[in-house]
A and B are shown apart, each in its own frame.
Chain A
Amino acid sequence: GDSVTQMEGPVTLSEEAFLTINCTYTATGYPSLFWYVQYPGEGLQLLLKATKADDKGSNKGFEATYRKETTSFHLEKGSVQVSDSAVYFCALSDGGSNYKLTFGKGTLLTVNP
């Protein structure tokens, strides 16, 4: 079945550092890929998405590129802020008429001033 593997956390960075959170997936067909962010005590917020190979999703300085050849969707940000501290989830949906999301286990990011 479908699966998502993302780097184990926690990740601790200083403000303005470069962020990479790795995400790889296993899926049949042509999934859509997502990054969601969860702040403490809150639900999931869509951060960015990509629906086909080579698409780049971007939002709030975060970027991720859908790499079919490496089955990856790594999240990057050039300069993190304290306010980026949260849990980040990589997810896929296998598209078609089935929009069930399969999530990775989440990566806790803490950014220190």
Chain B
Amino acid sequence: KAGVTQTPRYLIKTRGQQVTLSCSPISGHRSVSWYQQTPGQGLQFLFEYFSETQRNKGNFPGRFSGRQFSNSRSEMNVSTLELGDSALYLCASRGFHTIYFGEGSWLTVV
């Protein structure tokens, strides 16, 4: 069965712009979470959605937001981009006692 799909894979944005990343979880999975990976901070939890409701949120500013649709697909949005937002953004899909990750979206802010 298909894995976690993230789009786009690579993107370059300018400071002050906003970006939207998309994630389609594994079929049947209703929980989607997002992580940010940077060389300095490592892997950090952003938020988790389950059945269109945000259940958990990490320690990130309000510029980072997300949502989940009725088909479990999720988007995350970062507004007013800063250079420090350059990172790999990973989406994860939760099954029974297991969490699977997508390939990630590489965001570069210039």
Contact = CB atoms under 8 A, between A and B. Distances in A.
- A joins B in a complex: yes
B104 A43 contact: yes
A97 B33 CA distance: 13
B98 A100 contact: no
9 contacts: A43-B103, A44-B101, A46-B99, A93-B99, A99-B33, A99-B99, A100-B58, A105-B42, A106-B43
| Chain A interface helix/strand/loop/mixed | strand
Nearest to A34: B99
Given A43-B90, A44-B90, A100 B45 contact: yes
Contacts of B43: 89, 91, 101, 103, 106
Interface residues of B, number: 23
* Most chain B C-beta atoms within 10 Å of own C-beta, residue among A43, A91, A93, A104: A43
| A interface bracket (residues with beta carbon within 8 Å of B) | 20 to 34
B55 interface: yes
A98 B56 contact: yes
* Most chain A C-beta atoms within 10 Å of own C-beta, residue among B48, B98, B99: B99
Nearest to A50: B97
Contacts of B31: 99
